[in-house]
Chain A
């Protein structure tokens, strides 16, 4: 039996709903935690994680993990490398 494109979209939507439901259920069980805190409690480590600093350095809840200055520096280097490669190879 051949499944059409529309049916595959339907399958995709069902999988999305299942994933969201599972995720929401897991979130309600564990409560509101940051990534490192979630890992620490899942594995049974006492530490809250190296980057749990509340809302410091965050913008609308979005936060850069790790050193922001190094992040910007590496991103600038990668951006410059992209421009050089783009100009050299002509995408």
Chain B
């Protein structure tokens, strides 16, 4: 999962509270949606549990590409289990990540907002390309992943620019430039993730098409 790799104390307390409030509001909407509109069946819950374990396992591993990066799996989560249950998975993974010291507690709210945008975009782009446009599974999942991660990176930049960083020496222009370069590097990793997601979704679609929420009517 893409997240802001900064320590606790980089955002002011006000912004920590604001992003936590936004994230928890979105999670509450997801829970209400799951209870009242689209109840998750046993199969989807089982896949969600596996997504949580796989995402947590992969997310903590720094890969030696472009100086060190890690995979997200958020668009894959969105495609497999949908945005509502995907949000719960992202919450759990973010909390466990903070618990082991990967990312600060104060940034969990902001990171969750970023992850939700990736899950949401991944799910709806895949759904549109696969079901409406009929673009093919591999291309649909791959493009959905790239777009999901692009949106996530843009939200990440927006959150940092809006919140401001305590003790930062850069002016807003330099910060925007630096973060844009960072997002551009992240997109190189998004390519790896797009190919992995594309092949996983294609494989699952071949053997168990009923397991993909994004392909369901």
Contact = CB atoms under 8 A, between A and B. Distances in A.
A66 B49 contact: no
B53 A82 contact: yes
Contact of A64 (B61, B134, B169, B189): B61
B64 interface: yes
Given A35-B70, A64-B62, A66-B60, A74 B96 contact: yes
Interface string B38-57: 00001101110110110011
A39 B182 contact: yes
Interface of B: 4-7, 10, 42-43, 45-47, 49-50, 52-53, 56-57, 60-64, 66-70, 96-97, 99-102, 129, 133-136, 138-140, 142-143, 146, 160, 165, 167-170, 174-175, 178-179, 181-182, 184-191, 194-195, 198
Contact of B5 (A39, A60, A78): A39
B175 A8 contact: no
A44 B170 contact: yes
Given A15-B146, A66-B60, 15 more contacts: A3-B135, A16-B146, A19-B191, A23-B187, A23-B189, A26-B181, A30-B181, A30-B182, A40-B6, A42-B182, A65-B100, A75-B57, A86-B46, A86-B50, A89-B43
B135 A5 contact: yes
For the complex of A and B, 3 pairs with smallest distance between CB atoms = A23-B188, A44-B170, A61-B64
Contacts of B168: 43-45
A29 to B, nearest CB: 6
Interface residues of A, number: 60
| Chain A interface SS verdict (over half) | helix
A70 B101 contact: yes
Contacts of A39: 4-6, 182
A41 B178 contact: yes
Given A34-B67, A63-B61, A16 B46 contact: no
A56 interface: no
A25 B8 CA distance: 31
Interface of A: 3, 5, 8-9, 11-12, 15-16, 19-20, 22-27, 29-47, 49-51, 58, 60-67, 70-71, 74-75, 78-79, 81-82, 85-86, 89-91
A34 B70 CA distance: 11
B134 A85 contact: no
B136 A35 contact: no
Given A74-B100, A78-B53, A62 B61 contact: yes
A37 B135 CA distance: 39
